[in-house]
Structure formats: C-alpha cells, structure tokens
Amino acid sequence: MDPFRLWLLFAAGLGAGSAGALLGVGGGILLVPLLNLAFRVPLPAAVAASLVCVIATSSGAASVYVQDRLCDIKLGMVLELATVVGAVAGALAAPLFARDLVRLALAGLLLFTAWQLLRPRPSVPGEDPSSYAIRRWPLGLGVSLVAGGLSGLLGIGGGPLKVPTMHLGMGVPFRTAIATSNFMIGVTAAASALVYYSRGDLDLAVVAPTATGVVAGAVLGARLMPRAPVKLLKQAFAGLLLFGAAEVGMKAMHLGPFR
C-alpha cells in the first residue's frame, strides 16, 4: 500500500469525521464522492467504506456527547425505532421504486430543508439543553421513518433530515439535535455495514486508514461543536444540504461526476 495514499485517506477521514461530528451527519454525502472520484475506489466499495465510517463518526462523537450530556438519549431511542423500521422497509421495497425519482424528491427535500434552516424566523428554539419541551412527536417519527426509508432505498444517512426536523419541528436545541443525531446514525448504519461486510464489499486497504482518521476527526469535532456558534453551525449545515441536493439531483439526472 502506498504510504502517501494511506495518509491522504487518513486525512480525508479526519475531515469527514470532524464535519460529521460538528453537524450530526455521518459524512457519507462527502465521503462517497470523495473516495469514488478522488481515490478511484469502485462505488460499492466506497459506499461500504462510507457506512463503516458513519459508525466511526457516530460512536466517536456520541462517546463525547453522551458523557457531556448533550445528547437526548430517550428522544434518540424513540426516533431510532422509526428509523430502523423505515430502513428495513426501504431496503425491502427498493426494487419497487424508480430510484432516480426518489433521488429527485430527496434533492427537493434537501433544498427545502436548507431554505427552512436559513430563512429568518420570528422564533427559534432556545439553546439551553436543560429546558426545552419536545413537541410534534408525529412529525419527528414520520420524518425518521422517511429518513430510514431513504437510507434503505438509496444508502443515504438520515442526519440531513433529522437534525433540522428535531430543531425546527420538535423544538430541540440545535446542538442537542446534532448530538442526538450523531448517536442515532451509527445504529442505523450498523445493520447495513454488516450486510456489506458479509457480502465481501469492504476493502480493508481503504477502510482502515479512512476509519482511523474518522475516529480521530469525530472526537476532535465533538470537542469543538459545543464551542462553535450556532449560527455558523446552521450555515455550515445548510451548505452541506445544498451540496447533498446537488449530488443527489445530478445523480438522478445522470449529469456530471455524480452519475
């Protein structure tokens, strides 16, 4: 294995892990195209490596967030139940759906979510993690079910949908939503990762350096997140949603590098 390539993969993992921990997403939106386009890793192996890295981001970040009491474990557990039901249903129903149409719908949903996050609002949930009341449970459960379904259908994690829903829809502070999402995404990814592992899709020469970097990045990102201004986190999150919308939309239309 080329040592230079190993260090580059480690650096890619470090960046993706930090971003994932800071924003409550697995980083698959960034890692899959990066591995596929920049490192020439075949798509199935890139998706498999990305799933293992989602677990690394989730567990690395959640280990910090849970101990720092930033994570709402009970909320995460209830929403996770809806997510795994959706993920299993999505995987089973995958042959029945036109994936490009689902991708287009997801691109639209991500654009809408980015706009919701950035637009001025008369009132937004406060940031005190010790005093907030959760509202609109059906919305949270419904979005988690859909996010799980999309994960099963397209292999895309639910963080980009669940973080804004918890914050804007359910009244959860943005940092708590990020921490709770980080706790949840690893559980969803574990089942899929095991399937890819059993199938023999994992290339250890890619996974080992990338996941090692992701673990380091996730712990670093989790240490930085509580100090980062919420406005900056929201802007970065919206930027990630726009990137994700472009990636998924181009894939749906078979355009550019993401086809």
Partner 1 sequence: MTGGAGPLLAGRDAGGAAARWVGALLATGVTVAAACLAAGLLMAPSAAGPLLAPVGPTPEVLARAMRAEPTGLMNLGVLVLIATPVLGVAALGVGFAARGERRYVLSALAVLAMLIVGAWLGGVR
250 near partner 1, rule: CB under 8 A: no
Q: Which window, 26-34, 56-64, 231-239, 248-256, contacts partner 1 (CB under 8 A)? A: 56-64
112 near partner 1, rule: CB under 8 A: no
> Cα Rg for the chain, rounded, in angstroms?
17
Collect all residues with Cβ–Cβ distance below 8 Å to 96 and sequence separation of at least 6. none
Nearer to partner 1, 113 or 175 (CB): 175
Cα–Cα dist 43/48, whole Å: 8
Cα–Cα dist 51/33, whole Å: 13
Binding mask 212-231 for partner 1 (x = CB under 8 A): x--xx-x-------------
Q: Which 154-193 positions form the footprint of partner 1 (CB under 8 A)?
A: 176, 183, 186-187, 189-193
Tell me if residue 141 falls in helix, strand or coil.
helix
Closest Cα to residue 248, out of 29, 20, 26, 17?
29
67 near partner 1, rule: CB under 8 A: yes
Q: How far apart, in Å, are the Cα atoms of 128 and each of 92, 131, 154, 156, 238?
A: 40, 6, 35, 30, 22
Contacts with partner 1 by CB under 8 A: the residue count is: 66
211 near partner 1, rule: CB under 8 A: yes
Among 69, 93, 126, 224, the residue binding partner 1 under the rule CB under 8 A is 69
178 close to 23: Cβ distance less than 8 angstroms? yes
Q: Which 75-104 positions form the footprint of partner 1 (CB under 8 A)?
A: 75, 77-78, 80-81, 84-85, 87-88, 91-92
224-238 burial code (b ≥16 CB/10 A, e <16): ebeeeeeeebbeebb
Among 29, 109, 161, 202, the residue binding partner 1 under the rule CB under 8 A is 202
61 close to 22: Cβ distance less than 8 angstroms? no
7 near partner 1, rule: CB under 8 A: no
Tell me which amino acid residue 218 is: A
Q: What is the nearest approach in angstroms of partner 1 to the Cβ of residue 198?
A: 5
Nearer to partner 1, 198 or 254 (CB): 198
Among 59, 144, 165, 181, the residue binding partner 1 under the rule CB under 8 A is 59
Among 95, 120, 200, 229, the residue binding partner 1 under the rule CB under 8 A is 200
160-198 burial code (b ≥16 CB/10 A, e <16): bbbbbbbbbbbbbbbbbbbbbbbbbbbbbbbebbeebee
Among 1, 37, 224, 232, the residue binding partner 1 under the rule CB under 8 A is 1
Cα–Cα dist 23/75, whole Å: 18
24 near partner 1, rule: CB under 8 A: no
Judged by the rule CB under 8 A, the positions of this chain that interact with partner 1 are 1-2, 6, 45, 52, 55-56, 58-60, 62-64, 66-67, 69, 71-75, 77-78, 80-81, 84-85, 87-88, 91-92, 129-134, 137, 176, 183, 186-187, 189-195, 197-200, 202-209, 211-212, 215-216, 218
